[in-house]
Amino acid sequence: MNAAHLPGSAPPAAQRPSPLDKPAQYLRGVGPHRAKSLAAMGLTTVGDLIEHFPFRHEVEPPPQAIDTLVLDEPATVIAEVQSVRLQGPMRRPAVRATLRDATGRMSAVWFNAPHMADRLRTGGLVRLFGRVTEHNQFAEMVNPRVQRLDGDGREPPTAARLVPVYPATGKLPSRQVAVIVEAALREADGAIVETLPPALLARRKLLGRREALLCMHHPPSLEAVPEARRRLAYEELLLMQLAIALARRWTATNARAPILANSPCIDERIRRRFPFRLTAAQNRVIAEITADMARERPMTRLLQGDVGSGKTVVALYAALVAVANRRQCAILAPTEVLAAQHFNGINRYLEGSRVRRCLLGGRGPRTGRARLLEAIAEGAMDLVVGTQALLEEKVRFGALGLVIVDEQHKFGVSQRATLRSKPRASGGSPAAFVPHYLVMTATPIPRTLSMTIFGDLDVSVIDELPPGRSRVVTALVRPPEEARAWLEVRRRIARGEQAYIVYPLVEESDAVDLKAAVQEVERVGRTLLPGARVGLLHGRMKNEEKQEVMSRFVAGQLDVLVATTVIEVGVDVPNATVMAIQHAERYGLSALHQLRGRVGRGSRPGLCLLFAGGGGEAAARRLDVLCRTCDGFRIAEEDLRIRGPGELLGTRQHGWPEFRVANLVEDVELLTAARDDAARLVAADPRLAAPEHAGLRAELRRRFREKVAFIDVA
């Protein structure tokens, strides 16, 4: 996947500009100022605006006569404006109007809306919707919604009305958004073309695109909305699944990877390295991975497994198969600390082996690094461990065969693209010679998510922990119970066990929180755990400092490690049996689940204490899921339900556009249907060249232009 395969993004010269591409700014009533507010919501064109859907509709009841108004009830009235006047302070006058219908008189008042004085003409007919109050013994509405009815000569509508409520900002309230979207819909009408082929519309019983779009904004009844939503959600999901299917196909036909074959002899030699028998789950995923590696088609596989399930061992197995085939393997971790830890772990297994291996740090002595780079380029280094930063640098590999990325809980689809194009520097054939590719993650990803975000990856799951693990007991600690919780931590330290105290330094740049963590170290050593030897680990420390603290903790010279989440995700210290997570309510459940995996590493039972001062009952209920289950998938589903995919993935930068309509929790069936349909479409018409696929092709281009660099459709 690289830029060379981008479809031409400039439109052909002859093509007339579509009204959908018209900048929002040139719509009637928008102008530069509002255009800015719209842009802040990601709305820059007419096309964007007509897909800016209301999140609900308010029901305005049918109009009623003024003499039937009931105090405190919401009501709709159609009346004639008798007079309009400004009242109150000169700087911020209120606008008060008197209105009349055949049955009586009422007033309406608008605060902070001087423009209302211009909108209301004496003698004009208006429709008002608002709650009924009272003023000088007449009915009144405060800040009612107004619709001018004069001028078009039509009979005023007598039915109830559905008013769309749009996502809005402080500067641009929903009512104004509604007016702008209205203008966009008028502008776009006629240019809204069907994207789905007739056969699909029929098979899935879907509304036409134009009908669905209009219905989202102005449904004839509330009951009509779900069908419109279903149609548009399906379209979003289908487009994504098509993009994925096309990418897969592109890789299958254009990219070549080296064949890295396993054999009983290699297998036996590798297994001898491990001081334990692999679990059944490990053996199963190893079979899946090695089958992939033995093919020319590049492997793109996601290896999922809970923390401590033994992914590193599987990764090393795959790496050694590559090395046995005289190819290099790069193992990349998200941080320097984790890279160092991987390297140390791997070194332990490889003691006495002839596999040439190195840890390629970001810093360190210049000359040493230069020599390593040279060796890597010459193919004189079999196994290179480093951080993902290596991808951005110009590290050249002589014979790269396998790349393993340990994503922990952060994913970056965009980084994957970099990685795929990297090996071209290796001097292989200029076509698309790529290494096999394995991503490891400890976040169990619900099927719906992996089908979308990671749809182009095959998935292997290690669903079993190595024997002899005891489950981590998790408890919620409310403020009154804190003293008792610290007592338990002290007791464990007295027994010679070690503890983590985790602080929510969410952003490494968050100076305020950092200070809190630093102060906490002192408080911990002095008052909470007096006498304990306490170390601090956070992302702002120099690498050497981090390594130093880590190795002291590993060696048992520190009892307690106060750490930020950024750092310790993959840390493996079996003697650490207790973890106290401060402000647990600020984390996602999956992140907490991974954190607590750090204390289930040895044979002694782990304890995870979730300190949750803030967040109230809702937070407590959410955290309770962790106390009740250790099933990472259940926890991830829960996270997905509560916090949405962006949060679960730990980053919103996952490279895919956000869905406007589809919902990954609720639309599972629709997603499955879209995936099947996409597979069928691509199999039948791999370039989407048939005339009935022109709409899909155009829409794919529009949506995935820069995002996905593989849409090989002309």
Residues lying near ligand ADP in the complex (CB under 6 A) are found at 276, 278-279, 282, 305, 307-313, 466, 572
Residue 449 binding result from Mg ion, ligand ADP, none, given CB thresholds of 5 to 8 Å by partner type: none
CB of 307 to ligand ADP, least distance (A): 4
Query: Between residues 311 and 546, which has the closer beta carbon with respect to ligand ADP?
Result: 311
Residue 310 binding result from ligand ADP, Mg ion, none, given CB thresholds of 5 to 8 Å by partner type: ligand ADP
CB of 504 to ligand ADP, least distance (A): 22
Binding of Mg ion at residue 107 (CB under 5 A)?
no
List Cβ neighbours of 494 (8 Å cut-off, separation of 6 or more): none
Residue 278 binding result from Mg ion, ligand ADP, none, given CB thresholds of 5 to 8 Å by partner type: ligand ADP
Residue 361 binding result from Mg ion, ligand ADP, none, given CB thresholds of 5 to 8 Å by partner type: none
Residue 309 binding result from ligand ADP, Mg ion, none, given CB thresholds of 5 to 8 Å by partner type: ligand ADP
H helix or E strand, kind and range, residue 682: helix 668-684
CB of 193 to Mg ion, least distance (A): 50
Task: Tell me whether residue 349 is exposed, middle or buried, using C-beta atoms within 10 angstroms of its C-beta: 0 to 12, 13 to 18, 19 or more.
Answer: middle
Query: Between residues 469 and 660, which has the closer beta carbon with respect to ligand ADP?
Result: 469
For every residue of 271-285, DSSP letters joined together read HTT-SSPPPHHHHHH
Query: Between residues 448 and 565, which has the closer beta carbon with respect to ligand ADP?
Result: 565
CB of 398 to ligand ADP, least distance (A): 28
CB of 454 to ligand ADP, least distance (A): 18
Stretch that binds Mg ion, among 43-51, 518-526, 553-561, 562-570 (CB under 5 A): 562-570
Query: Between residues 309 and 325, which has the closer beta carbon with respect to ligand ADP?
Result: 309
CB of 303 to ligand ADP, least distance (A): 9
Q: How far is CA 493 from CA 314, 527, 560, 596, 612, in A?
A: 33, 15, 8, 17, 22
Query: Between residues 106 and 383, which has the closer beta carbon with respect to ligand ADP?
Result: 383
Does residue 210 contact residue 194 with C-beta atoms inside 8 Å?
yes
Query: Between residues 219 and 310, which has the closer beta carbon with respect to Mg ion?
Result: 310
Residue bearing tokens 């941080």: 335
For every residue of 529-565, DSSP letters joined together read STT--EEEE-TTS-HHHHHHHHHHHHTTS-SEEEEEH
CB of 301 to ligand ADP, least distance (A): 15
CB of 626 to ligand ADP, least distance (A): 18
Three-class DSSP category at 317: helix
CB of 498 to ligand ADP, least distance (A): 15
Residue 279 binding result from Mg ion, ligand ADP, none, given CB thresholds of 5 to 8 Å by partner type: ligand ADP
Region 273-332 residues binding Mg ion, contact defined as CB under 5 A = 312
Query: Between residues 162 and 315, which has the closer beta carbon with respect to ligand ADP?
Result: 315
Separation CA 707–CA 714 (nearest Å): 17
Region 117-136 residues binding Mg ion, contact defined as CB under 5 A = none
Q: Which tokens in the block code for residue 653?
A: 């930068």
Task: Provide the H-helix boundaries in 506-631.
Answer: 511-523, 543-554, 565-568, 589-596, 616-628
CB of 466 to ligand ADP, least distance (A): 3
Residue bearing tokens 């695109």: 209
CB of 36 to Mg ion, least distance (A): 46
Region 568-587 residues binding Mg ion, contact defined as CB under 5 A = 570
CB of 311 to Mg ion, least distance (A): 5
Separation CA 455–CA 460 (nearest Å): 13
Q: Looking at 337-399, which runs of residues are DSSP E strands?
A: 357-360, 383-387
Residue 305 binding result from ligand ADP, Mg ion, none, given CB thresholds of 5 to 8 Å by partner type: ligand ADP
CB of 620 to ligand ADP, least distance (A): 28
Separation CA 377–CA 398 (nearest Å): 5
Query: Between residues 572 and 699, which has the closer beta carbon with respect to ligand ADP?
Result: 572
Query: Between residues 20 and 316, which has the closer beta carbon with respect to ligand ADP?
Result: 316
Separation CA 618–CA 151 (nearest Å): 52
Query: Between residues 313 and 434, which has the closer beta carbon with respect to ligand ADP?
Result: 313
Query: Between residues 426 and 460, which has the closer beta carbon with respect to ligand ADP?
Result: 460
**Bridging pattern class, strands 300-305 and 436-441:** parallel
Query: Between residues 444 and 570, which has the closer beta carbon with respect to Mg ion?
Result: 570
Task: Tell me whether residue 64 is exposed, middle or buried, using C-beta atoms within 10 angstroms of its C-beta: 0 to 12, 13 to 18, 19 or more.
Answer: middle
Residue 290 binding result from Mg ion, ligand ADP, none, given CB thresholds of 5 to 8 Å by partner type: none
The identity of residue 441, as a single letter, is T
Residue 313 binding result from ligand ADP, Mg ion, none, given CB thresholds of 5 to 8 Å by partner type: ligand ADP
The backbone region for 153, taken as left when phi is positive above 0, alpha when psi lies in -120 to 50, beta otherwise, is left
Residue 649 binding result from ligand ADP, Mg ion, none, given CB thresholds of 5 to 8 Å by partner type: none
List Cβ neighbours of 642 (8 Å cut-off, separation of 6 or more): 589, 622
Query: Between residues 280 and 483, which has the closer beta carbon with respect to ligand ADP?
Result: 280
Pick from 157, 169, 160, 166: which is nearest to 125 by CA? 157
For every residue of 190-240, DSSP letters joined together read TT----S-HHHHHHTT---HHHHHHHHHS-SSGGGHHHHHHHHHHHHHHHH
Residue bearing tokens 């095959």: 458
Residue 564 binding result from ligand ADP, Mg ion, none, given CB thresholds of 5 to 8 Å by partner type: none
For every residue of 24-86, DSSP letters joined together read GGGSTTTHHHHHHHHHHTT--BHHHHHT---SEEEEEPPB--GGG--TTSEEEEEEEEEEEEE
Contacts with Mg ion by CB under 5 A lie at 312, 570
